[in-house]
């Protein structure tokens, strides 16, 4: 069967072909074409489109196409669930989903930068995901000091591509973005990566990749959550609002999510933090 998606793949559009060829359709032919041509070519070639809006094989809620393929084809391998969390975290800029997500995103950002041939990129990606599958099957319980070559490779590329380069001049887009974020501090903090990329007229993938270099070595999502918690702390200290109201005013619509993220950043629940402030 033929499977078709957008060109210039990086994470999900390489992970999905690996999953398809290894567990769903061993004889699958993967086709990459420009975004505007995917549906037309899919109909012409009788191919299954994936990882783009308004098709069956796509993102649902906070899960990516890789997750949907696992669910659709009822794949039960626990190793695939471990890989899915890593792919999801890397593809949606939620590196808190799995500690390996940042490294995976870094690897494929670097490869996509160096390799312009999508087929060649897929061939290399297949080898990387084979290695990741072996880790997720046999090695995932090893501690950091026992890391094997796959984990070491993830960490090496992470430091090469994601760690901030000291002394590097802050680009204009980063300065403008800081102003945009500052403008959100008096609202409910709903600025998204997509909205920021549109406002700055910068590719969202590039913005996601470069963001941490200029914003406290944090991903866009983690940085925004950090600002939300800082705002929540200020409201707790200076107002008499309930914790539910403070969560909402800080941009959290779900109270349990607010409690969890607050404790992650401060080490205390909001209620314990409020008691300590009163003391």
At 218-246, the pLDDT tens digits run 888 888 888 889 888 988 998 888 888 88
Sequence-ordered strand ranges (E) for the chain: 2-6, 29-33, 48-49
Identify the pLDDT of residue 152. Answer: 58
**pTM for this structure?**
0.54
3 phi and psi, to 5 degrees?
A: -125, 135
By C-alpha distance, which of 219, 221, 237, 225 is closest to 273?
237
Q: Which CATH architecture is the domain 172-278 placed in? A: Orthogonal Bundle (1.10)
Query: 232 — alpha (psi -120 to 50), left (phi > 0) or beta?
Result: alpha
Return the top range by mean pLDDT from 27-31, 179-183, 202-206, 262-266: 27-31
Domain boundaries, the chain: 2-161, 172-278
Write the DSSP string, 193-224: HHHHHHHHT--HHHHHHHHTTTTTT--HHHHH
Interval 133-181: pLDDT, tens: 999 998 877 654 455 555 555 555 555 544 444 445 678 878 888 877 7
């Amino acid at each position: 069967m033929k499977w078709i998606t957008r060109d210039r793949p990086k994470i999900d559009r390489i992970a999905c072909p690996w999953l398809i060829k290894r567990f769903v359709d061993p004889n699958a032919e993967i086709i990459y074409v420009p975004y505007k041509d995917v549906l037309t070519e899919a109909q012409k070639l009788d191919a299954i489109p994936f990882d783009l809006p308004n098709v069956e094989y796509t993102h649902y809620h906070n899960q990516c196409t890789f997750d949907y393929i696992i669910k659709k084809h009822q794949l039960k391998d626990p190793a695939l669930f471990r890989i899915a969390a890593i792919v999801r975290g890397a593809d949606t800029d939620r590196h808190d989903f799995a500690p390996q997500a940042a490294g995976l995103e870094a690897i494929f950002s670097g490869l996509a930068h160096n390799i312009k041939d999508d087929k060649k990129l897929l061939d290399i990606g297949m080898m990387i995901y084979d290695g990741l599958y072996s880790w997720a099957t046999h090695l995932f319980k090893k501690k950091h000091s026992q890391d094997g070559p796959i984990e070491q490779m993830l960490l090496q590329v992470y430091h090469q591509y994601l760690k901030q380069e000291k002394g590097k001049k802050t680009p204009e887009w980063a300065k403008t973005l800081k102003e945009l974020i500052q403008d959100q501090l008096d609202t409910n903090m709903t600025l998204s990566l997509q909205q920021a990329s549109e406002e700055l007229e910068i590719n969202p993938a590039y913005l996601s990749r470069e963001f941490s270099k200029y914003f406290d070595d944090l991903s866009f999502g983690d940085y925004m959550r950090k600002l939300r918690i800082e705002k929540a702390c200020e409201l707790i200290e200076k107002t008499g609002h309930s914790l539910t109201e403070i969560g909402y005013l800080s941009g959290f619509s779900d109270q349990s999510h607010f409690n969890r993220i607050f404790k992650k950043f401060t080490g205390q629940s909001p209620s314990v933090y409020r008691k300590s402030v009163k003391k």
